[in-house]
Structure 1
Amino acid sequence: MLPPWRFLLSRWPWVALVFVFTSAIIWAVLLALIVVTLLLLPIWAILLAALDRRRLQLLGLPRQASGHVQVPREERRHWLNIRLTEPATWREVLSLLTGLVFGVVSLTVLFFEVLTLAVLIAAPIVVARSGTALTLFGDVTLAPDGGQWWRMALLALLALALFAYLNGLIAALHGGCIRWLTAPRAAEIDERVASLTRSRATIVDAHDRERRRIERDLHDGVQQELVAIAARLGLLELELASGEIPAARAALGAAQTQTERALVALRDTVRGIHPAVLSDRGLAAALEELAGRSVLPVRVEDHGFPRLPPAAETAAYYFVAEAVTNATKHTAAPRVVVSLAADAHRATVVARDNGHGGVDLAGGTGLRGLSERAEALGGQLAVHSPVGGPTVLTLEFPLPTVSAHGEVGDADPAR
C-alpha cells in the first residue's frame, strides 16, 4: 500500500475518480433500461460483466477471462438457452444488482464532493463581492477582510485528499466484487463443456439411429412392396402375351393393390421422419393425428399450447410418441393421456398412463436420448414412475420470444 503522500501524487486518485464516475453513469443508464426491459436482465448482466471485466484494467488488474463456456458455431442458435443454464450468468446478474448499489453510492458521493468543492471555492468569492460575513456551519464564519482565505484553501486541499481516499475505497470495493462474481470457475466450465459434449454426442447417435431406422423401414417395407409390384407386372406381361384377359385383369388388380400398399408404407416412413402436420398446424394437431393411428387409446388435452421452435416441437412430438410406444409394448395401461399447457415462461408436455410403472430414464435409449435432446434445447425431461404406477413423463421447454408481428422466434441471439 502506498504512503499517503505518494498515493495523493500518483495516478490512483484519478483512476479511482474515473472508475467511480463510470459506475455512476452506468447505474443511471442501466436503471432506465432495466425498468423498461426487466425480462432482459440476464442479457444486460452478461453485457455489463463484459464491460466490467475491461473496467477492472483501470484499477491495474489483468484482463479477466469470461466465466462462460465457449458456444460452438453450430450451437449458436441455442446461445441464450445455454447462457440461462450457466451459474456464471446468474452470478453476473448478482454483479449487476451489486453494481446498481455501488452506482447509487458513487453518484451520491460524487454529488457531495462536487457540492463541497463548489462551496469551498465559491464562498470566498461571494463574501468578497458582497462585503458581508458568511456563516458556513456552526460558529465557522468567513469574514470579508480576506484573512481567512488561507483556511478555505487548506480545507479544499484536505477535502481533495479525503475525496481521493474515499473514491479509492469505493473503487476497490466495487472492483473486488466484480472480480469475485465474474471470475471463471474452472469446475463449472469443465462441467458445462462435458455436458455439451455429451449432448452433441447423444444427438449424433440419435441421428445415426434414425438414419438406420429409415434405411430398415425402406428395405423391409417400401422396397419389398416395390419388388412385389415388379413381379406382378411381370406376370401381367406374361398373361397379356398369352391372351388370357381374365388372368391379366386379376394380375393388374393385384399390382394396383400392391402399389397402394407401397404408398401406405412410404407414407408411414415419411411420417415417421417428420409429420407434415407438425410443421403446418403445430404440436396439438400432430398429436391428434398420432392418437388416431395409435393402437392404444390416446387422449390429447390442449390447454392453450403455443407454437414452439421447430426443434422443440419435434422433440415434444417424439417424446409423446416414445411414451405411447412404451405404454403399448411394456404395460397394460388402458389409455395414455397427454396434456399440453404453458405459463408465462415455460411450455409443458405431460404424458400419463395407469400402467404398472417402473420406468427408468437410464434404462432405455429412447427416453434417455430425448432427455439429452431436451437439455440441448434448454428444456428438461422428468420421469415419475413408481412401481405399480402411474407413470408420468414431463417435458418442459422455455417459451421463445414473440415479435411485434406475432411471429415466433428462436430467442437465441448469435454470439
Structure 2
Amino acid sequence: MPWAPHRALLSPALWRAASHLAWDVVAGLAALAVLLVLGIGILLLPVALVGLPVVVGAGWALDRLAAAERFRYAATCSLAIPAQPRPALSRSLTRSARALATGRCTWRQLGYCLALVPVSALTGTAVACAWAVPLTLLPLPLYYERLPSRRAALGPLTVDTPGTALLVSAVALLSAVFVAPLVVRALLALDMALARTLLAPPRDLELTERVEQLTASRAQLVAAVEAERRRMERDLHDGAQQRLVAVSMALGRAVSRLRRSGDDATRQIVEQARADAREAITELRDLARGLHPPVLTDRGLAAALSAVAARSPVPVTVDVRAEPRPPAAVEAVAYFVVTEALTNVAKHAGAGRAWVEIRRNDDDRLTVTIGDDGRGGADPAKGSGLSGLAARVAGVDGALRVTSPPGGPTLIEVDLQCG
C-alpha cells in the first residue's frame, strides 16, 4: 500500500505504466498477426515451398516486433533490454529459413509473441477495469436516480438510497486511490518479467559474445604490440645502429692515420673506443633481433629458425612446413618460443642434440614441437623459463604442453590458432 496515496496518483511513473499496459493490447494484436502469418506460411510449405517467403517474412517481422517491444519498454518503463542478435537473412530463402529455424533468439521471440497474446488481453482488461470501474461508480450518487429503474444493481447489492450510493462511491474512491495503483504495479511487474525472460538474449549467449569480444580485443592488442616491436627494431637498425657503424668506421680511419703518424698512445685510446663501438653494435644488433628479427619478416619461420639453430651451441635440426605463412603475431610467438626453448636447452638440459618441428594443420592451427635428449625434469610450475613461454603462448589463445620425465627426453608442444 502506498504511504502517500495522493503522491502515488500524481506520479508520472504510474501513468506511464498504465499507458504501457494499455498499449499491450496493440502489441498483442501485432503479435497475433505475426503468428497468423507465420502459421499460414508453415501450412503452405508442403505446396512446392510456396510458404517459404511467407515464413521468412514472418521471421523478419518477428524480429522487428521484438525490437519495437524493447524500445517500448525503454521509453515507458526505463527498462533497458539488451538486443538479441539479428537473424542472418540473405537473398537465399532456404538459407534465411534455416537461419531462422536454428536461431535460439528466434524461438525466444516466438515464445514472447505466444505469451504476449493472452498476457496483453489480461493486462489490457485488468488495467481498464482498475480505473474504469472506480471512475464509473464514484459519481453514482449523482445519477443512480436518473436510471430507468431509479436504482442500480451491483451484483447482489442494490443501490436505491442516497446512503447506499454514498457508500459505494466511497468504496470506489478507496479503490481508485489504493487498489488501482497496486493493480497497475502488479501487472507491470508481470509484463517486465516476461520481457526480461524472453526479449533479452540468453545468458550463455551473452557470455559467448563477451568471450568473443575479449578474444578479438586481445588479438588486436597482441598484433599492436608486435607491430610496435617491429617498428622499434627498424628504428634501432636504421637509426642508432647505423650511426654506431659510421662512428666505428670513422674511428678506424683515425687509427690508420695515427698509425702513420706514430702517435701510439692516442692510437691505443682510439682503438679501445673503436672496440667499444663494435661491442655496442653487437649488443644493439642482439637487442634488435630480440625485439623482432628482420629475417622473420622477410623470409619467414624456416629461415629465421635456421639462423637461430646455427648460433645454438647444441646441434639443432629444424623442420618447418607452415604454408601459407601464419599471421605475423602467431609467427612471432612461434619464433620466440623456439628461441627461448633452445636457450633453456643450452643452459639447463645437458643435451647432445635438439630438434624443432613446425606444422600448419588442415584445421588452420600451427603446432610447434621442440625436443631434446637432455636430462629432463623440466617443470613450468617451478618458475623456470617455461612459465614465460606459457604466458607468451596464452597471449594468442594458444596452449603449451611440456613432457619432461626425469632422464629425458623433454618435449615442448605448442598449439597456436592461425585464424
TM-score for the superposition, normalised by structure 2: 0.46
Q: Specify which structure has the bigger relative contact order, considering alpha-carbon pairs within 8 angstroms and separated by 6 or more residues.
A: 1
TM-score for the superposition, normalised by structure 1: 0.46
